């Protein structure tokens, strides 16, 4: 199974934090403990979902997108499609940078995947 390789940190509001955390665990292989700590190739990262009305992020209209590094973009996107996830069919190649693809999680958050060159 393809797994994301790392991120510096990311926090999400969610209508159902437990269900959204389960989606990331089951579809992306993001294995977090009960506190949201995740050991990745680059080191520990906290991954946590928050209630939809949290003030932690400032303005409730703030929009963000996480970018996960992956080994094999095509395999990750195929895995997500097989699980019924809303993965884009288009990818983008940037010379010297790598390949990019996207999926939308069950709560409508767009996620970017990056397979470095």
DSSP secondary structure letter of residue 45: E
Query: Which pLDDT value is given to residue 62?
Result: 44
Higher per-residue confidence, 8 vs 40 = 40
* Domains of the chain from N-terminus onward: 10-116 (3.10.180.10)
Residues with Cβ within 8 Å of 89's Cβ and at least 6 positions away in sequence, in order, are none
Region 15-37: mean pLDDT is 89
Query: Which pLDDT value is given to residue 31?
Result: 86
pTM beyond 0.85: the answer is no
Query: Which pLDDT value is given to residue 12?
Result: 83
Mind listing the pLDDT tens digit for each residue in 42-91? Answer: 544 546 677 888 775 555 654 566 888 899 999 999 999 999 999 999 99
């Amino acid at each position: 199974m393809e797994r994301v390789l790392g991120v510096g940190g990311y926090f999400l509001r969610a209508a159902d934090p437990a269900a959204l955390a389960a989606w990331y665990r089951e579809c992306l292989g993001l294995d977090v403990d009960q506190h949201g700590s995740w050991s990745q190739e680059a080191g520990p990262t906290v991954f946590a979902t928050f209630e939809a009305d949290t003030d932690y992020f400032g303005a409730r209209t703030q929009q963000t997108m996480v970018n996960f590094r992956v080994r094999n973009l095509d395999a990750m996107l195929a895995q997500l499609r097989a699980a019924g996830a809303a993965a884009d069919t288009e990818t983008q190649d940037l010379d010297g940078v790598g390949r990019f693809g996207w999926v939308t999680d069950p709560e409508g958050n767009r996620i970017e995947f990056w397979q470095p060159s």
